[in-house]
Amino acid sequence: MVYERMKIRSIFHLFLVFLFISCAARPEKFFPTGTMWQEQFFLDEGRGYESVGNPRTFYVGEDTLINHCTYKSIWIEGKNSGMWVREEGKKVWLLRSDCPEELLLYDFNWDAEKGTARQYYKEGKGVKTDSIPISSIYKAQLEDGRMYNYIEYRESYTQARMIEGIGRTSDPIKDASIIGSYEPASDWILPMIGEWRLLYFKRNGKVIYKNKE
């Protein structure tokens, strides 16, 4: 009887170890359902950056099957944006209703020698690919207490920052910061200087990033 109990206990312990290893090996999703963030547009007309209009709240919705691939819908201010994201390892792909091709939004397989890349839809010219050089990979502790990799690079007239698993914290030309993937035919914000800025990012019920500028 004692032997049987010990045997059952050993099997249970092995099951717990297997479950722990399985969960640890499972890659964390960057944009699971319920992920939420907020962005604000800032404009500099010679008096320093000032916020313009109201912040926009983005929300990652449920799974949607499109062309045999599982995407998650993106909602902006409670409305379906016509954009969907899916993840493939450390790559994040974006589908837009106004673009004929799927776009590589992020490739978090960062390599200081090879750099990384992003794609976007340029009005009147189709899909474009930007190569982003990586001079260094930095680390920073964010709001959840964890350390995150990030890179910095020059984009247009600003110094851009991209955080692994979150994305860009600002964008001067595209239609958003994190999911910015559309560029108008002309530099619509020039000669004034403006950009979308990420205010906060929340995933799995935890605030991970807050803009402290």
pTM greater than 0.95 (yes/no): no
Q: Cα–Cα–Cα angle for 181, 161, 95, nearest 5°?
A: 20
pLDDT-wise least confident of 107-116, 148-157, 193-202:
148-157
Amino acid occupying residue 171: D
Tokens (6 digits) for 139: 């680390």
- Strands of 89-192 (E only): list them: 91-96, 103-107, 116-122, 126-132, 138-141, 147-155, 158-163, 167-168, 170-171, 182-183
DSSP category for residue 4: H
Tokens (6 digits) for 179: 């999911």
CB-facing half-sphere around the CA of 117: CA atoms within 13 A = 11
Residue 187 binned pLDDT confidence (cut-offs 50, 70, 90): low
Residues 132-142 pLDDT 10s: 999 999 999 99
Residue 125 binned pLDDT confidence (cut-offs 50, 70, 90): confident
Q: Which helix (H) or strand (E) holds 97?
A: none
Residues 101-120 pLDDT 10s: 999 999 999 988 889 999 99
Per-residue pLDDT at 13: 45
Q: Which residues, 6+ apart, have CB-to-CB distance to 29 below 8 Å? A: 87
pLDDT-wise least confident of 10-14, 161-165, 172-176:
10-14
Residues 43-76 pLDDT 10s: 877 666 777 889 999 999 999 999 899 999 999 9
Integer-rounded Cα Rg, in Å, for the chain is: 21
Amino acid occupying residue 59: Y
